Amino acid sequence: MKTPADQIMTLEAELEETYRSVTELTNELEEIREKLEHLSLYDELTGLPNRNLFRDRFETFKQLANRQDKPFAVFLMDLNRFKTINDTFGHEAGDKVLRVIAERLKQRLRGTDTVARVGGDEFAFLLQLRDAEKDGAEIAGEIVNIVRQPIDIDNTPVDVGASIGITFFPTHSGDLSELLRHADRSMYEAKKRGGGFVFHDGTTAVQGDVKLPIFLGEIQKAVENGEMAFHMQPKIEMQTMKWCGSEALMRWQCPKRGLIMPDDFIPLAERSPLIVPLTRVSLTMALERLASADLSDHANSISINLSPRSLHDPGLADEVMAQLRDTRQLAELLVFEITESALMIEPEKAVQTLTQFASLGVRISIDDFGTGYSSLSYLSQLPVTEVKIDRSFVRKMHAHKEDLAIIQSLVDLANKLDMTVVAEGVETKEDWITLADLGCHLAQGYYISRPVPTDELDIWSARWHTKMDGESLTA
Ligand code: C2E
Ligand code: CA
Ligand code: CA
């Protein structure tokens, strides 16, 4: 039998227990309430304020501005190429891009600023500025740069750009909806100009991608529409002065922009799976040309550039194998130019693919040799038959004895290893004479011919032979 004192103690303990659970429950409820509030005010994916909180913050900014005479800016930003990234790499990649950019923006902005995600790839900013125009341009430029830093997607650095429209409170309006409408219009103006930022009054120029930027999706369409063409640049055997082959260099005949050089779109394509269909275009062109050529003219080969990514694309390797298996005669006139760096990515796999290609008769040439770190003796263990000395050595060889010495030892070693040396960027008669003296086997460059449309090769060839008949090209 419990004494009344015991009963009171038990009751007290129970009460305490109940109190504890009630407190716990209250805390949990509070947490849930906070979470709910957070959800209604924050964007789940990026953790940035959402449209609702942005409106709230605008009211606070507005009150502060009215009380302390502090004008502020409203920016609206849209990402460039976001749709292409989603389409090319999938939605998870798109989400990653948004998270990375949100994180970078959080890092950069001051505590007094607000950046919100207000739509799919749309962000809005509230920024206090001392000097509206000057500070506005400075921070907008900085945001463009922050966004522009490549983002890693499946080991591919992906470029995203930004287009920003800029308005000021109260100069352009005191009403948020109106400010956003103005900002939206300027943002589209920026987008039209290729990214960067535009002020509401349209006065300030765009900073960002200066040339009309090229989007991956456009390259894809261009391939589908057959807008990719090739200019051919002949290679000459120095001893005999005979035309022995040509390098196919891609050109994009864009109906909107005119002729676009490969340096303006290949590097972009190379960072995406799109380079594979591009490589397929050059392969098809080369094979068609070779198939229609008179094969009794054995010497005339076609070189195509194989990007690192293409070299590692299993589908492409299989396709090449299938297309060339029964046409050894054609394969022997095909040269694949690859850079040293392509060999450095998964070297074992690269060598395996090259060995397969070589077994069909295709020749492998190392492009831009000397710009990487591989040695000729390493390359000689691979099925490589040709090295192309990078243009930079040829350009400097007259002024710098070291470059001359490098070319000389390269030629000597190549002779021992039974490899062909091609000099790139032969621009003058003086270049030609020096390189011939050094024993270079083949030459390519403006001195011989610029890259020309395929149907002009014959005209060039006729002129070249006349020119050679009349000139002596020895020292
Ligand atoms: P590359 O393979 O090193 O091609 C040689 C580049 O040097 C070409 O530029 C050519 O026009 C230029 N060149 C030739 N002779 C001279 C000369 O005497 N002096 C000077 N200054 N330049 C000369 P291009 O056609 O603009 O191509 C640039 C690069 O784009 C190529 O460099 C190659 O890496 C890439 N490329 C071109 N076509 C293709 C392609 O079909 N596929 C891939 N993956 N890359 C390509
Ligand atoms: Ca090349
Ligand atoms: Ca080259």
> Which is more confidently placed, 377 or 432?
432
Q: Does residue 303's CB lie within 6 angstroms of at least one atom of ligand 1?
A: no
Q: What is the per-residue pLDDT for 208?
A: 41
Query: What range does the domain containing 445 cover?
Result: 216-469
Q: What is the pLDDT of residues 198-214, one digit of tens each?
A: 888 765 443 444 345 57
Among the atoms of ligand 1, which is closest to the Cα of residue 270?
44
CA of 261 to the centre of ligand 1 (A): 9
Instruction: Indicate the residue among 149, 174, 199 that finishes a domain.
Output: 199
Ligand nearest to the CA of 371: 3
Is 164 in contact with 190 (CB distance < 8 Å)? yes
Instruction: Indicate the residue among 199, 233, 258 that finishes a domain.
Output: 199
The string of DSSP codes covering 182-238 is: HHHHHHHHHHHTTSEEEETTS-SPP-S--SPP--HHHHHHHHHTT-EEEEEEEEEET
Q: Does residue 262's CB lie within 6 angstroms of at least one atom of ligand 1?
A: yes
What CATH number corresponds to the domain at position 156? 3.30.70.270
Q: Could you tell me if 191 and 247 lie in one domain?
A: no
Q: Does residue 451's CB lie within 6 angstroms of at least one atom of ligand 1?
A: yes
Q: How confident is the model at residue 53 (pLDDT cuts 50, 70, 90)?
A: very high
> Which is more confidently placed, 272 or 332?
332
CA of 388 to the centre of ligand 3 (A): 7
Residue 13 lies in a domain: no
Stated pTM of the model: 0.62
Average pLDDT across the chain, whole number = 88
pLDDT at residue 425 tops 90: yes
> Which is more confidently placed, 85 or 394?
394
Q: Does residue 246's CB lie within 6 angstroms of at least one atom of ligand 1?
A: no
Task: For the chain, give the percent of residues with pLDDT over 70.
Answer: 95
Residue 191 lies in a domain: yes
Q: Does residue 266's CB lie within 6 angstroms of at least one atom of ligand 1?
A: yes
Q: What is the pLDDT of residues 370-413, one digit of tens each?
A: 887 778 878 888 899 999 999 999 999 999 999 999 999 999 99
- Provide the number of structural domains found in the chain: 2
Q: Could you tell me if 190 and 295 lie in one domain?
A: no
Residue 40 lies in a domain: no
Q: What is the per-residue pLDDT for 148?
A: 87
Q: How confident is the model at residue 297 (pLDDT cuts 50, 70, 90)?
A: low
Q: Does residue 367's CB lie within 6 angstroms of at least one atom of ligand 1?
A: yes
Out of 69-83, 126-140, 454-468, the most confident range is 69-83
Q: Could you tell me if 192 and 300 lie in one domain?
A: no
CA of 388 to the centre of ligand 2 (A): 8
pLDDT at residue 436 tops 60: yes
Ligand 3 ion: Cβ-proximal residues, 5 Å cutoff: 367-368, 424
Mutation test residue for ligand 1: of 279, 305, 340, 395, the one with most atoms within 8 Å of CB: 305
CA of 188 to the centre of ligand 3 (A): 39
Q: What is the per-residue pLDDT for 79?
A: 95
Residue 461 lies in a domain: yes
Q: What is the per-residue pLDDT for 246?
A: 96
Q: Does residue 274's CB lie within 6 angstroms of at least one atom of ligand 1?
A: no
Q: What is the per-residue pLDDT for 239?
A: 94
Residue 254 lies in a domain: yes
Residue 426 lies in a domain: yes
Q: Could you tell me if 166 and 71 lie in one domain?
A: yes
Residue 294 lies in a domain: yes
Ligand 2 ion: Cβ-proximal residues, 5 Å cutoff: 305, 337, 367
Give the long-range contacts of residues 205-213, CB within 8 A, separation 24 or more.
207/137, 207/140, 207/141, 207/144, 208/144, 208/148, 208/161, 208/162, 208/163, 209/80, 209/161, 211/264, 212/257, 213/80, 213/161
Instruction: Indicate the residue among 156, 174, 199 that finishes a domain.
Output: 199
Q: Does residue 370's CB lie within 6 angstroms of at least one atom of ligand 1?
A: no
Q: How confident is the model at residue 474 (pLDDT cuts 50, 70, 90)?
A: low
Residue 437 lies in a domain: yes
Going by the DSSP 8-state scheme, the letter that residue 371 receives in this structure is S
